[in-house]
């Protein structure tokens, strides 16, 4: 009787380990592969925010504001402010290689710093938004957002990738 109990405990333990391995396999098959196209992430993000104060950026805008070449990456989503007093902005870059993350992050940090210098001193609301911007790098994706909806956008980004 005693031996049976011992076996049950060990059996349970190994069952949990098997469940853990299966869980990780599912995670690997679903996420982190860098397979999600930027278009899908854009759709997820635009479900939680509006284009107010922003306009779709072009590859020239990416070069102008971030110094990045769109062709170096697997995909780019860029929304830039649509007037001089707006700071709303979203950037999502899908990397070809994870070693590109540092370059994109640096470019995003520089963009934030430039925006901050531009608005500091007279654009109180804008400065607050810039100071609360979200910049994150996850796997093959880098995201920057300056928006009142930054939290929701960030959540949608994490969900989307």
Q: How far is the CB of 77 from another protein (least distance, A)?
A: 19
Q: How far is the CB of 97 from another protein (least distance, A)?
A: 11
Q: How far is the CB of 161 from another protein (least distance, A)?
A: 8
Q: Indicate whether 32 belongs to the interface with another protein (CB under 8 A).
A: yes
Distance CA 110, CA 131 (A): 13
Q: Indicate whether 128 belongs to the interface with another protein (CB under 8 A).
A: yes
CB closer to another protein, 28 vs 43? 28
Q: Is the dihedral of CA 56, 61, 137, 121 positive or negative?
A: negative
Query: In three state form, how does the secondary structure of 55-103 look?
Result: EECCHHHHHHHHCCCHHHCCEEEEEEECCCCCCCEEEEEECCCHHHHHH
Q: Are 142 and 104 in contact (CB under 8 A)?
A: yes
Determine the interface stretch with another protein among 19-27, 47-55, 73-81, 88-96 (rule: CB under 8 A): 19-27
Q: Indicate whether 102 belongs to the interface with another protein (CB under 8 A).
A: yes
Tell me which of 55, 70, 72, 139 binds another protein, using CB under 8 A: 139
Q: 């290689």: which residue's tokens?
A: 97
Q: Are 142 and 95 in contact (CB under 8 A)?
A: yes
How far is the first Cα of the chain from the last one, in angstroms, to the nearest whole number?
50
Task: Report the interface residues with another protein, using CB under 8 A.
Answer: 6, 9-10, 12-13, 16-17, 19-20, 23-24, 27-28, 31-34, 98, 102, 105-106, 109-110, 112-114, 116, 125, 128-129, 131-134, 138-139, 148, 150-151, 154, 158
């Amino acid at each position: 009787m005693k031996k049976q109990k011992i076996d049950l405990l060990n059996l349970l333990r190994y069952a949990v380990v098997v469940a853990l391995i299966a869980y990780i396999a599912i995670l690997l098959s679903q996420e982190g592969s860098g397979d999600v196209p930027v278009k899908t992430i854009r759709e997820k993000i635009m479900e939680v925010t509006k284009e107010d104060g922003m306009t779709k950026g072009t590859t020239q805008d990416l070069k102008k504001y971030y110094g990045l070449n769109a062709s170096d990456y697997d995909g780019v989503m860029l929304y830039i402010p649509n007037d001089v007093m707006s700071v709303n902005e979203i950037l999502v870059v899908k990397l070809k290689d994870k070693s590109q993350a540092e370059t994109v992050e640096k470019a995003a940090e520089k963009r934030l710093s430039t925006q901050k210098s531009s608005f500091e001193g007279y654009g109180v609301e804008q400065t607050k938004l810039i100071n609360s911007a979200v910049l994150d790098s996850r796997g093959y994706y880098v995201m920057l957002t300056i928006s009142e909806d930054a939290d929701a956008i960030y959540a949608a980004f994490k969900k989307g990738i």
